[in-house]
Amino acid sequence: MTVRVSRKAKFCYSCGDVIESAAVVCPRCGVVQPAVTAEAQSERRILPAFLLCFFLGVFGAHRFYAGKIGTGVLELLTAGGLGIWWLVDMIMILTGSFRDSEGRKISAWT
């Protein structure tokens, strides 16, 4: 079987057949497709990021954890942007809107 996967295709959740990406139900097996997650989640977690930010935030530790080495060094050199950057980052982490180096949200606690 030759299958051409275009950007508009996805695999059926149940039978693995290639179906239209907008399809809600697979035409082959009739299984309802799960909703596509709007945004990729980071494999990094809020809890370690928060603890690093809380205790070592002025050294940019949470940014190193998130893979953001460049801004981590910057935060280290400016002592957490004189505390302001540090505070903003802490709120971002707690609300699950802090992103890792790949731009994925760190939204799970553990």
- Shortest separation between residue 16's beta carbon and Zn ion, angstroms: 7
- Shortest separation between residue 31's beta carbon and Zn ion, angstroms: 5
For Zn ion, the closer CB: 17 or 56: 17
Angle, alpha carbons 10-12-13 (nearest 5°): 115
- The residue with tokens 């553990």 is 110
Coil/strand/helix, residue 49: helix
The encoded tokens of residue 61 equal 């530790």
- Shortest separation between residue 68's beta carbon and Zn ion, angstroms: 40
For Zn ion, the closer CB: 26 or 49: 26
Residue 66: HSE in the Cβ half-sphere, 13 Å Cα cutoff: 34
- Shortest separation between residue 20's beta carbon and Zn ion, angstroms: 12
Torsions phi, psi for 72 (to 5 deg) = -65, -45
For Zn ion, the closer CB: 15 or 82: 15
Query: Which residues are at the interface with Zn ion (CB under 5 A)?
Result: 12, 14-15, 17, 26, 28-29
DSSP character at residue 43: S
For Zn ion, the closer CB: 14 or 95: 14
